[in-house]
Amino acid sequence: MARGRRNDIGIDYGAIERSKGEAVKAKIAVLAGDGVGREIVPEAVKVLKVIAEKYGHTFEFATADIGGQALDKFGVPLPNDTLTLAKQSDAVLLGAVGGPRWESLEYSLRPERALLGIREALGLYANLRPAKVYTTLVDASTLKREVIEGIDILVIRELTGGIYFGKPKGIEKLPNGQERGINTEVYSTEEVRRIAKVAFEAARKRRKKVTSVDKANVLESSELWRKVVIDVHGSYPDVELGHIYVDNAAMQLVRNPRQFDVLLCNNMFGDILSDEAAMLTGSIGMLPSASLGAKVGLFEPIHGSAPDIAGRNIANPIATIASAAMMLSYAFQLEKEAEAIEQAIVKTLDLGYRTKDIQGPGTQTVGTVEMGDAIVKNLNE
C-alpha cells in the first residue's frame, strides 16, 4: 500500500496514503506476546473488527509469536518470520513480552530483547505516549484531584538510541576476580535532531510548549542533546522551549504536572518518566503508545506483561484498545474512527464500568473481556 506522510508530527513514518473518505485495506500484524498480552490484544482486535465493519474498511489480521512464547517455540525471542511479517504489514499491534519464567536467561535470549530488536529493525525512533486524565477517573489516581485534574501531557521518547543500544556494553571479568557491567549512553546530532523535530511539530498542534529533559550538568551526551534541541528550536520560534534536569522532572511530574505539554526525553529518561506520568492518570493499564519511524508503525500499551495478574481476566484492556485508536489515526489516517474508539472508552467509563485496577466506590468491576464487550457495545450505539 502506498505510504504517505502525516502532517501533524512532520515526519515520514509510513502512514497509508489515502484520499479523504476512501476505504482502507490494511494488513495488521498482531503480536500478542506474553502474560496479559494474550488477553488484552484480542480485545483490541475485537474493537478493530467492529470499526472495519461499521466504516467499510478491510483489516487483515496476521498473528505471530514474540517474546517468551517465541522463545519456547523457536528458541529466539524475535523469530525472522515475525520480523518479516511486521515489515510486510501496514501496522503492528503488540501486547507485551516477558515474565519470571525467562528472567534468568542471558540478556540476548530474554523476551525483552525482541522489543529492542523490532524497534531497531523497523527504525522506530519516535515513541509517543500521551498521558491524559479521564475526568471520571480523577479519583483513581494516588495523587490529589487538584494536582492531576486536566493534565494532558505528551511524552516523546527517543527509542532507538542512548544507553539501551550504545556500545561498549556487557559484563566483563576483571583480573582481580570481580566483574564490571558496562552500558554506554550515546547520541549523535542527527538522532537528537530528528526526535526534537517530532517534539516541536507535535507541540505546534497542542499548547506549543516543549520541555526537554536532560542531565546536562553531569553528562556530556546530555550537553550535546541540549545544544541540538536549542538549535532545532531555531526553526520553531512559535513554540516555547524549556529545559529540565531529569531528577527535577521526576519531582515536578508529581508536584505540578499541569505545567507540562510536550516532554522530550531520551530513551532511558523517557522510559522512566512515562511510567511516572502514567500513574498520574490512575493506572498503567490505561495508557497507549505509538512508535513511529520511517516504515511501519508499532502500537502497544505502555505496560508490560503483568505476570502477577495474567490469565485471570482482570487486566485492563483500555491501554491496548486506545493503542488501536492511535493506529487508526497515525498509521491509517482514520481520524473519525480513532475518535469513535476514544469516545466509546469515555462512555464506558462514564457508565461506571471498571477493571480491578481502576475500581472505586459506586462503580461496577468487570473483567478484561467484559470491558472489551462494553466498549464494543458503546461503539455501536
Considering only residues 4, 117, 166, 307, which one is a binding residue for ligand NAD as defined by CB under 6 A? 307
Told to judge if 209 belongs to the known catalytic residues of this protein, a careful annotator would answer: no
- From the list 12, 231, 247, 350, the catalytic residue is 247
What distance in Å separates the CA atoms of residue 131 and residue 289, rounded to the nearest whole number?
A: 10
Which is it for strands 262-265 and 209-214: parallel, antiparallel or unpaired? parallel
In eight-state DSSP terms, residue 167 is S
Q: Is 99 in the site for ligand NAD (CB under 6 A)?
A: yes
Cβ closest to ligand NAD, residue 44 vs residue 202: 44
Residue with grid cell 523476551, as numbered in its chain: 111
Cβ closest to ligand NAD, residue 6 vs residue 113: 113
Cβ closest to ligand NAD, residue 6 vs residue 354: 354
What distance in Å separates the CA atoms of residue 367 and residue 373, rounded to the nearest whole number?
A: 10
Residue with grid cell 481502576, as numbered in its chain: 358
**Interface with ligand NAD in residues 36-55 (CB under 6 A):** 36, 40
Encoded one letter per residue, x for contact with ligand NAD by CB under 6 A and - for no contact, window 309-328 reads: x-----xx--x---------
Residue type (1 letter), 371: M
In eight-state DSSP terms, residue 137 is G
In eight-state DSSP terms, residue 140 is G
Which is it for strands 91-96 and 126-132: parallel, antiparallel or unpaired? unpaired
Told to judge if 271 belongs to the known catalytic residues of this protein, a careful annotator would answer: yes
Contacts of 4 (CB under 8 A, 6+ apart): 15, 16, 17, 18, 333
User: Which among 20-28, 191-199, 248-256, 301-309 is the span making contact with ligand NAD, rule CB under 6 A?
Assistant: 301-309
User: Which among 5-13, 83-91, 219-227, 307-315 is the span making contact with ligand NAD, rule CB under 6 A?
Assistant: 307-315
Question: Is residue 282 helix, strand or coil?
Answer: coil
What distance in Å separates the CA atoms of residue 315 and residue 369, rounded to the nearest whole number?
A: 9
Considering only residues 304, 321, 332, 344, which one is a binding residue for ligand NAD as defined by CB under 6 A? 304
- From the list 125, 164, 187, 330, the catalytic residue is 164
Told to judge if 205 belongs to the known catalytic residues of this protein, a careful annotator would answer: no
Told to judge if 275 belongs to the known catalytic residues of this protein, a careful annotator would answer: yes
Q: Cβ of residue 343: shortest distance to ligand NAD, in angstroms? A: 21
Task: Give ∠ CA 39-306-288 in degrees, rounded to 5.
Answer: 70
What distance in Å separates the CA atoms of residue 290 and residue 92, rounded to the nearest whole number?
A: 10
What distance in Å separates the CA atoms of residue 287 and residue 83, rounded to the nearest whole number?
A: 25
Cβ closest to ligand NAD, residue 116 vs residue 263: 116
Other Cβ atoms within 10 Å of 216 Cβ, number: 17
Cβ closest to ligand NAD, residue 69 vs residue 212: 69
Q: Is 375 in the site for ligand NAD (CB under 6 A)?
A: no
User: Which among 1-9, 237-245, 297-305, 369-377 is the span making contact with ligand NAD, rule CB under 6 A?
Assistant: 297-305
Compute, in degrees rounded to 10, the torsion defined by CA atoms 29, 48, 351, 278. 30
Q: Cβ of residue 203: shortest distance to ligand NAD, in angstroms? A: 26
- From the list 13, 65, 125, 215, the catalytic residue is 215
Residue with grid cell 465493519, as numbered in its chain: 53
Cβ closest to ligand NAD, residue 99 vs residue 162: 99
Q: Is 291 in the site for ligand NAD (CB under 6 A)?
A: no
Interface with ligand NAD (CB under 6 A): 36, 40, 96-99, 112, 115, 284-285, 300, 303-309, 315-316, 319, 357
Active site positions, annotated = 164, 215, 247, 271, 275
